[in-house]
Amino acid sequence: MHRTLGYTIFFLVMVLLQAFLFNNLNMSVYIYPLVYTAFVMLLPIQLPHVVVLLLGLLTGIAVDVVSGTAGLHTIASLFSAFCRPLMLRLSIGKEEANEGGIPNAGRLGTGAFLRYCSVFILIHSIAFFSFEALSWSYFHLTLLRILSSAAITIPLVYFAQMLLMAGQSQNVRKA
């Protein structure tokens, strides 16, 4: 139960951070950190796939509503949520994936976590920016935006997962 509370707070923090901070960074046309992906990425491994998919839908809709992008974030979040079990199995191996737990740096080890995190963010960014461009004529620009945005998002998600870990361990201590 304590986990649900932790995740609810994490969800809100991620959506609000995206809305008020990362949607307004305005550093460059090529840098749009999609930090809210951390929520779906860090859901417990043993959570049924269908729940992950529905939470991905919820995250996407929430971010779409606050950023005024009609469906873009939903398309990308559904896609990455659907691919999540595959990405987990590929980056940490099937056996370890079966053991469950929260897929953070503490549980997976920093190397494996960064691998999982990078693949996840890349998949998410590819879906997001290709659907945003909706055209092959800007292919090189889209590619550049995917790579530069993902490169900024990865360290930010790493911080976000430390935040969740700190929150969860505090909850455990209380319980």
Partner 1 sequence: MNRLFLFIKTIYLPLLFIILEVVAINYYANSSSYTRAKILGSTNAVMGSFYKTFADIKGYFGLRKENRALVDELTALHNEFERYKAVNPPSGDTLRMPDSEAAKYFYTSANVINNTIMLRENFLTIDKGLYDGIEANMAVITPEGSIVGIVQACSEKYSVCMSILNEKFRTAGRIKGSDHFGSIYWNGEREDMVQLTEVSKYAEIAVGDTIVTDHSSIFPSEVLIGTVKSWEMVADSYFDIEVELATPLTSANRVLLVRYADQLERMMLETEGIK
Interacting residues with partner 1 (CB under 8 A) = 19-20, 23-32, 49-50, 53, 57, 60, 64-72, 74-75, 78-79, 82, 131-133, 138, 141, 145
Looking at residue 70, what DSSP letter applies?
S
133 close to 80: Cβ distance less than 8 angstroms: no
CA 22 to each of CA 6, 67, 107: distance values in angstroms, whole numbers, following the listed order? 22, 10, 27
Least separation in angstroms between CB 27 and partner 1 = 8
Least separation in angstroms between CB 16 and partner 1 = 8
Q: What is the identity of the amino acid at 96? A: E
CB-nearer residue toward partner 1: 7 or 128: 128
CA-CA distance, 47 to 175, in Å (whole number)? Answer: 21
Least separation in angstroms between CB 76 and partner 1 = 9
CB-nearer residue toward partner 1: 113 or 129: 129
Looking at residue 48, what DSSP letter applies?
-
